Amino acid sequence: MKPTKSLAAFTLNEMLMVLAIMGILLLLALPSFMPLIAKTKAQEAKIQLKFIANLQDQYRYTNSKFSLEFSAINFEAPKTINEGGRLVGVFY
């Protein structure tokens, strides 16, 4: 039987060390990114609220009253990433 050539590869210990270091770095960096994530979500909410306010104003100018339902002002909630859109999170 012929001896097989060994391939250059990483050992399991080396891979686990790299994953542990990456995890530690992530834990150190995550707190600094949380305010940025919250600010981005707040900005998206402000944009959506301004859009809804504009739709309500248009409806009020046309019908002399405010709408009680989103369907009356032709508002559709933005699609989340799970639905093929760009919104992260849930929109109620």
- What digits encode the pLDDT tens for the residues 14-63? 999 999 999 999 999 888 888 888 898 899 889 989 999 999 999 999 99
Is the per-residue pLDDT at 91 higher than 60? no
More confident site: 91 or 34: 34
Is the per-residue pLDDT at 85 higher than 80? no
Query: Domain extents for the chain?
Result: 12-83
Three-state secondary structure along 12-45? HHHHHHHHHHHHHHHHHHHHHHHHHHHHHHHHHH
Model-level pTM?
A: 0.60
